[in-house]
Amino acid sequence: MLRHTRPKGTQDFIPPVSQQKLLVENTFRDLAVIYGFQEIVTPTFEHTELFIKSSGTGSDIVIKEMYSFQDRSQRSLTLKPEGTPGVIRAVLENRLVLPARLYYITPCFRYSRPQKGRYREFYQLGIEALGEASARTDAELIHFGVRFFSRLNIAGLTVMVNSIGCRTCRQDYREKLLTFLRLNREALCPDCQQRIEVNPLRVLDCKNDHCQTMLQKAPVPREYLCSDCQTHFTIVINELTARQLPYRIDDHLVRGLDYYNRTTFEFVSDKLGAQNSLGGGGRYDYLIEELGGPPTPASGLAIGLERTMLAMPQLEVPTGRRQLVFVIWTSENELRTAVDLTDRLREAGIPAQLSFDSPKLKRQLHLADLADAAFAVIVGEEELKRGVYGLKNLTTGEQIELPAPELISRLKPLLAV
């Protein structure tokens, strides 16, 4: 009986799924660099107050989902539920010069009900454009996301956009929304009834069907935008149009975090069912100031790695054996030569492996089969005397001898190195 299993809401990335994960990460990293972003790595856990301050006391993340604990000095720490707050904390603490463009690839943790594409430990791919106030930056981040998904051949993607205004105009909207929600309190789900007084905008994001039906009659943020916010949103829309990026305006798109203002956006897939968001983001011009920095405009996006993998076409597993050479030695006298040869193969860019455990030829050939190696190079006493190596094709079983100096040059084209 299996004694240990992975915790609920987590997963193992084993080959070939681990190869697909690496493909997604490398695609994101390469594109981020092309757009001028540099990588930042922050701790897996932060002081709890950082996330309370950034996400908001009324957010589901703070109320329901954070993995928080006390260390031995009774400090409250939290496994990061998302990437942005740690990035801002690091920028301020290390006094990075702004403007700056930063990207990250990080594990995140939220205690939520596991389902397809939704885990308690998940990976987030994010970019942050710090110190950039232009509405065209918002559109460029959306363009980045569309291009990223396109590179992974993800079809059926819809870009949803909205504006939720600024501190000035959102206050008027908040009062109008509060009045509407209080009059319709009984038609809302229990969660939304609690949100009314704490954070009424969160109600717009509710996925409950009854709430969504009732909210069709609710006032929406775009109806109350001030002239500056309206101009900002118009520029975003015009820039998306100029870049020929299809989009839909969703008046209920507010995102799940309190720090957003003005532009919000989301990438939605038709491949995933209920959990259909691949990622999203928006503008957060007040967050840096709220975390102790100077007033600084900022915009960013975050993409879920696991949902991206679900939306991708099925990864084609290469047929045939791995591009791997297994070096075989036949006695202790040849082991040193075999080790040196393995190192030379690796230095030449040829994947190579050997076993130190047994000089038995049959056993080592079996290990080469288990490793799914394409070729075996045999380092034997008689071969060394004649200055040759045995080369066995482990797919066809054919075996030839090659002069030792020619081995690497002959293997490279065979393995497409």
* Burial profile 185-217: b = 16 or more Cβ within 10 angstroms, e = fewer: eeebbeebeebbeebbbbbbbbeeeebeebbee
In angstroms, how far is CA 379 from the centroid of its own chain? 44
Q: What does DSSP assign to residue 315?
A: P
Q: Provide, for the chain, the percentages of residues in helix, strand and coil under a 3-state DSSP scheme, each rounded to the nearest 5.
A: 40, 25, 35
Is 174 marked within a binding site?
Answer: no
Q: How far apart are CA 84 and CA 279, in angstroms?
A: 14
Q: How far apart are CA 124 and CA 50, in angstroms?
A: 18
Is 123 marked within a binding site?
Answer: no
Is 284 marked within a binding site?
Answer: no
Q: How far apart are CA 288 and CA 261, in angstroms?
A: 13
> Nearest-CA neighbor of 125 among 152, 165, 99, 100?
152
Helix, strand, or coil (residue 127): strand
Helices (H) and strands (E) in the chain, counts: 15, 16
In angstroms, how far is CA 62 from the centroid of its own chain? 21
Q: How far apart are CA 265 and CA 313, in angstroms?
A: 24
Is 83 marked within a binding site?
Answer: yes
Is 255 marked within a binding site?
Answer: yes
Is 260 marked within a binding site?
Answer: yes
Q: How far apart are CA 78 and CA 87, in angstroms?
A: 15
> Nearest-CA neighbor of 221 among 190, 237, 200, 240?
200
- Is the separation of the CB atoms in 298 and 283 below 8 Å? yes
Residue 145 CB: number of other CB atoms within 10 A? 25
Is 128 marked within a binding site?
Answer: yes
Q: How far apart are CA 121 and CA 109, in angstroms?
A: 5
Tokens matching residue 175: 């009062």
- Is the separation of the CB atoms in 304 and 279 below 8 Å? yes
Residue 69 CB: number of other CB atoms within 10 A? 12
Q: What does DSSP assign to residue 256?
A: S
- Is the separation of the CB atoms in 87 and 102 below 8 Å? yes
Give the annotated binding-site residues for L-histidine. 82-84, 110, 124, 128, 255, 259-260
Residues annotated within a binding site: 82-84, 110, 124, 128, 255, 259-260
